[in-house]
Amino acid sequence: MIEILRLYLLASLLATPCLASSTIIKISSDTIQDPYQLVGSTKAPTSELSKVPWFPELLEYEIHWGIISVGQANLRTSQVEDFNGTPAVRIVSEATSNGFCDTFYKVRDLNESWLQANDFYSLGYSKHLREGSFYRNEWVLYDYLEKIYLSKTTNRDGTFYYKQGSIPGLVQDILSSLYYIRTKNLKVGEDITLDANTKDNWPLLIKVLSEKNVEVPAGKFDVVVVEPVLRHEGIFVRKSKRLEVWMTNDERHIPVYMRAEVGFGHVTAKLVRINAWPEGPGGKAAPSSAPPN
């Protein structure tokens, strides 16, 4: 029940992926058990990261179901890592229900994405979702030289299966696409279509609906309202009929308010605080999160 951002995806870029010359592990079901085995040492931020508004950044949210407070969530980017020979920003999204909600619908969600740190396309994505009786463990990796993706889904009993298919070019996953969209000029009345892959290829249509003013715990903001037309699971709300994301109407495009219509009412995420890491880009890393069991 808590996973609301589904706004993620990158338009097919014309550039060619810049793969480092270091040894690269072949992405196949024979060599990859999980994406963490591709993570190497921390790297210095690329020059391109100095031009984006979201690195480093920590966004913290309070989650409500109707008027009832049910938990908290955060989004963060704090460091660049070597990911299979390529510098990548690790994006982390966490959602946790509070003590009241735990009694009837416990939520422990962790989503991670590795975003190529020069041209900002996805290298891989991992999700560990625990929402009531719902269970999801899966990841997907992208091999741009071979133009394929590889995913693995693990069931609660430990059984698993792999899936492989082709990709049209450079793609975004659910989480990384949010950060890519934040670099774009959002004009009311215009639509943006992005190439997405979450175990299959699909277009993400993003409608730019209106401009508004909103007040959340973090303050008052002028915002632009966007609606991603979603076909797959998101990050703060797993299932929704409609999702709106209200982003600051400036060059930062910070998501300050999100609203998802669900089976019974709606779930909202309101920004509580914005914390840039004081040590600066590539300085102090955010506390790492272990995937839930």
Residue environment code for 129-156, b if the CB has 16+ CB neighbours within 10 A, otherwise e: bbbeeeebbbbbbbbbeeeebbbbbbee
Distance from C-alpha of 15 to C-alpha of 42, rounded to nearest angstrom: 25
pLDDT on residue 233: 54
74-107 confidence digits (pLDDT tens):
999 989 999 999 999 999 999 999 999 999 999 9
By C-alpha distance, which of 178, 162, 73 is closest to 120?
A: 178
Q: What is the mean pLDDT of the chain?
A: 85
Question: Is pLDDT larger for residue 264 or for residue 205?
Answer: 205
pTM of the model: 0.84
237: amino acid identity, one letter: V
Kindly state the average pLDDT of the residues 242-265.
90
Q: 3-state class of 178 per DSSP?
A: helix
| HSE-up (13 A, CA, CB side) for residue 59 | 24
Q: Cβ atoms within 10 A of the Cβ of 288, count?
A: 9
pLDDT on residue 202: 87
Kindly state the average pLDDT of the residues 237-255.
82
Report whether pLDDT(231) > 80. Answer: no
Q: Which residue has the tokens 């920004």?
A: 271
183: amino acid identity, one letter: T
User: Which of the residue ranges 43-52, 128-137, 271-280 would you say has the lowest mean pLDDT?
Assistant: 271-280
